[in-house]
Structure 1
Amino acid sequence: MAVSRLLIVHHTASPVTYELLEKVREGASTDQVTGVEVVTRAALAATAVDVLAADGLIMGTPANIGYMSGALKHFLDTVYYPCLAETGKLPYGLYVHGNDDTTGAVRAVESIAGGLGWERAAAVVSVVGAADRADLDACWELGATLAATISPG
């Protein structure tokens, strides 16, 4: 049986972003979706090789001073040109946590992903402040949706 790879690239810098990451992973690994290998990489450790081997991608970041984390920006800078010609139409998802606002971070990530030709496959999960049950459920759905999108079954 063919297996698809879902790559989760994250910068987890707080208890809330850790909670969101865990829910994304839980959803991506649900038994309801088969044939998907979930690979998780910290943003500072993820490489173009990881992206080139992926059939789908979820990115997670805190919103820092109105922008994505420096770690996620570094990841995107590192993979941009090596992946530009080969990863068009890559389905992706995004979750962002901010204490006050996530607008700038979401806009920045979506701008770069658009430049790469990646296609958003699920609604962005934007969490401001503490994560509530609806936020955690949305993260679970984000993981499950991306896994189902790339599932060979």
Structure 2
Amino acid sequence: MTVSEKHLLLIYHSRSGTNKQLAEMIAKGAQSEAGNVVFRQKNAFDADADDLLWADATIFVSPEHFGYMAGALKDFFERTFYPTENQVAGRAIAIVIGTGLDGQGALSSIRRICNGYRFKEVQEPIIVVGEPSAEQLEACFNLGLGFSAALDAGIF
């Protein structure tokens, strides 16, 4: 019996470096015990509909700009919604936000758009205000590890 590979996609945007740091920790966790999971990390400007269709699960990492998600992530959603419409419903997602504010505006806007895709948010969001602590970096590592393990086990 062959086990089919699963695909985990990480889409992020970062200007200050904080969200890139969070994304890198997620990537380390996702690749630490990958099993039959293939991992792909993309900047939001570089990701496209083919990436989203490829993915069995996706983790979005975004800063909060002016109380909203990063424009790069919004651009990604605008470019991929119609080409993937009705093809990604039910796929697992998680949201990570690195911010100087409370992150609620970015979280709300990402969730609102993800509802249009009919994604299934399977993890409480991680919101990092200011510089990430060791515990928050560990939470990001564990998010990547957990998503990879859940995909490998067929949970989602």
TM-score by length of 2: 0.92
Structure 2: which 5+ residue stretches go unaligned? none
Contact 2:12 2:20 in 1 (8 A): no
Match of 1:83 in 2: 84
Aligned: 1:39 with 2:40: yes
Match of 1:51 in 2: 52
Aligned: 1:73 with 2:65: no
Residue deviations 1:73-104 (CA, integer Å, cap 9, x gap)? 00011111111211000101111011122000
How far, CA to CA, are the matches of 2:130 and 2:51 in structure 1? 31
Superposition pairs of residues 63-142 of structure 1, within 5 angstroms: 63-142=64-143
Letter in 1 for 2:10: I
Superposition pairs of residues 18-37 of structure 1, within 5 angstroms: 18-31=20-33, 33-37=34-38
Moved beyond 2 Å, runs of 4+: none
**What secondary structure does 2:135 align onto?**
helix
How far residue 152 of structure 1 moved from its aligned partner, in angstroms, is 4.9
Contact 2:49 2:83 in 1 (8 A): yes
Letter in 1 for 2:143: L
Match of 1:8 in 2: 10
Q: What is the RMSD computed on CA atoms of the aligned residues? A: 1.2
TM-score by length of 1: 0.94
Residue deviations 1:29-60 (CA, integer Å, cap 9, x gap)? 122x4110110111001110110111110111
Count of equivalent residues = 152
Q: Percent identity?
A: 28
How far, CA to CA, are the matches of 1:62 and 1:19 in structure 2? 12
How far residue 123 of structure 1 moved from its aligned partner, in angstroms, is 1.4
Letter in 2 for 1:123: E
